[in-house]
Amino acid sequence: MSAAPIKVTVLGSGTSMGVPSLACNCPVCTSKDPHDNRLRPSLLLSRNGQNVVIDTTPDFRQQALRAGLDRLDAILLTHAHADHILGFDDIRPFNIRQKSSLPVYSTEETFRVLRRAFAYVFDDAPTLSTIPSVDLHVVNGPFELLGTPIIPVPLLHGDLEVLGFRFGRCHHRGVAFRPRRILARSRAGDRGRCGARQCVRHAQEVVEGGLTNPVTRGTDPVPAHPAPPPRTPWKDAFSLPGPVLALTSSRRFLHGDTQ
């Protein structure tokens, strides 16, 4: 395994509609702070000149240009909601320049939606234009990319089971909504030295401690996204022992509120 660290770049951390959102006059969407301009959620993992992207959002082209991404080696898809896959067609320049197809890792359910949404990629019909070239890999357990194991972590996004991905040593405790059947599966499947059980236990404590209230946009609930209870200061919501890594796409907080 390479001794070089994995560099993690947050390509986007916004909501499914992006921040600012169209036709919204809330304090976040009208903020002048450039940090309150956020693209759709995606991560870039880089090591030794190789790059893996998690989710190809509708903003993928803009995200890749902004990050100076000139090579792509694999794609991980967490699920098939539009804000996570609709930039899929924009991987074509990497196919052309690298003269190869790209491996894509996800669940069979995600691939079922992907095949329907991008039927022209998979129907083998003649085409006069370029199309993405990919090799689909159904995730049934750990696999390796960038010289490190990638551990699939089943989670719930509303009623939809999605994939999280754990990689490298787990020094942080995570916040996630994991029902008991998924918690049990994660505990049973983990045999690593990393502390995944500690992460899972901590996540359960956080969920049971009241951090599963719906994220709100104004007064409209978004129950698929766990968040602190209303009027809870950000720093108080996560005043828990040890470091906490929390990913949220809420538009409740201005960038300055999270400092």
84 and 194, same domain (yes or no): no
240 and 145, same domain (yes or no): no
pLDDT exceeds cutoff 90 at 114: yes
205 and 78, same domain (yes or no): no
45 and 143, same domain (yes or no): yes
Q: Which residue has the higher pLDDT, 258 or 34?
A: 34
Q: Which of 120, 145, 168 is the last residue of a domain?
A: 168
pLDDT score at 209: 36
- 6 SS3 class: coil
Q: Domain holding 94: CATH number? A: 3.60.15.10
Q: Percent of the chain, pLDDT > 90?
A: 54
pLDDT exceeds cutoff 90 at 251: no
Parent domain of 208 = 170-259
153 and 42, same domain (yes or no): yes
Tell me the C-alpha distance between 104 and 77, whole Å: 7
- 244 SS3 class: strand
154 and 180, same domain (yes or no): no
Q: Which of 168, 198, 219 is the last residue of a domain?
A: 168
161 and 196, same domain (yes or no): no
149 and 204, same domain (yes or no): no
* The pair of three-digit structure tokens given for residue 167, joined into one six-digit string: 């990689």
pLDDT exceeds cutoff 90 at 140: yes
pLDDT score at 211: 38
- The tally of domains found in the chain comes to 2
pLDDT tens, residue by residue, 154-175:
998 888 889 999 987 654 444 4
pLDDT exceeds cutoff 90 at 247: no
How many angstroms from the chain centroid is the CA of residue 80? Answer: 11
195 and 164, same domain (yes or no): no
193 and 112, same domain (yes or no): no
69 and 2, same domain (yes or no): yes
19 and 39, same domain (yes or no): yes
Q: What would the mean pLDDT of 188-214 be, rounded to a whole number?
A: 40
pLDDT tens, residue by residue, 48-95:
999 999 999 999 999 999 999 999 999 999 999 999 999 999 999 999
Tell me the C-alpha distance between 234 and 228, whole Å: 8
* The pair of three-digit structure tokens given for residue 113, joined into one six-digit string: 């939606």
CB 28 within 8 A of CB 253: yes
